[in-house]
Amino acid sequence: MLRDITIGQHFPGNSVIHRMDPRAKLLLTVAYIVILFVGSNPIGLALSALFLILAYGVAKIPLKLIGKSLRPILPIILFTAVLNLFFVPGDPIFTWWVITVTWQGLYNVLVLSVRIVCLIAGTSLLTYTTSPIVLTDALERLLKPFARLHLPVHELAMMMTIALRFIPTLIEETDKIMSAQKARGAELDTGKLTDRIRALIPVLIPLFISAFRRADELAMAMECRCYHGGEGRTRLRQLHLGGMDLVLVAVCAAVFTLIGCSGMLWGLMGL
């Protein structure tokens, strides 16, 4: 289960999405998240899912990674779907005892499930096609206007990127600790819920110790290299918005506008 979590991982490539300016990718990702809630109808969500599948195809990233990234949050999706399916009032499909399934509940389940899948897969595409270092530069450049308000822009961008970078590392460390505990006879996957929670204590304690040790080592390494923040620092790679970036932004803007207007079409259909 832990090895299926792909959040924060980067898959190098040479596609147009990989080469795209990271600032544009960040802004487009935020716009895609917003449009998922604006175009909250079957037509809009279908277009959002189709757009995402095409983006994964252009980036040459296997679609099976979407399933791997969604597997850890599948219980949350199922729990939310059950609540909407059985407890949303409306026109009943069938009734048994105290359980009533309605058309409105079924509609909410489909909309909510597709929205969550697109949300996770869309944000994962950003990290799949953008390295943490480039993502740090993009965040810092986008937040640069707030530096006039004495906001520590460089430090905030560095903290966010370090946290994103160490997600796969902590997941790998957790998997090793769980395997070591199982080799010593610990039963982490069996028993009652309370027994499983108690069994996690021998996993969480060494995990926290390891995380604090890694943080201390990283801070020591940065101090030994005379790291003093972003003031006066130069960058190996300069960010430039090229012609292909503008074309991709224009295409995405047109698609997002179409998705946003899909609600009007859905309303004209009388549905």
Residue 200 backbone phi and psi in degrees, to 5: -80, -15
pLDDT level of residue 90 (50, 70, 90 thresholds):
low
Task: Please say if the pLDDT value at position 2 is more than 60.
Answer: no
Residue 168 falls inside a structural domain? no
Domain span at residue 117 reads 2-130+240-268
pLDDT digits (tens, 9 = 90+) for 148-183: 777 777 778 778 778 777 777 887 888 888 888 778
Residue 75 lies in a domain: yes
Per-residue pLDDT averaged across 198-211, rounded? 82
What integer pLDDT is reported at residue 266 of this predicted model? 62
Confidence of residue 123 (pLDDT cuts 50, 70, 90): confident
Q: Considering the domain boundaries, does residue 202 fall inside one? A: no
What is the number of structural domains in the chain? 1
Residue at 153 is within a domain: no
247/204 Cα distance (integer angstroms): 48
Contact by Cβ (8 Å): 139, 21: no
The torsion defined by the Cα of 224, 230, 231 and 234, in degrees rounded to 10, comes to 90
**pLDDT of 32 above 70:** yes
- Contact yes or no for 38/260 (Cβ under 8 A): yes
Ranking 136-140, 167-171, 192-196, 216-220 by mean pLDDT, the lowest is 192-196
Is the pLDDT score of 24 beyond 70? yes
Decide if 261 is inside a domain.
yes
Reported pTM = 0.74
Q: Token digits for 79? A: 């729990």
Q: Does a structural domain hold residue 224? A: no
Do the domain assignments include residue 225?
Answer: no
The answer to whether residue 210 sits within a structural domain is no
Lowest mean pLDDT among 1-5, 27-31, 127-131, 265-269: 1-5
**pLDDT > 70: what percent of the chain?**
83
Based on DSSP, count helices (H) and strands (E) in the chain, helices before strands: 11, 2
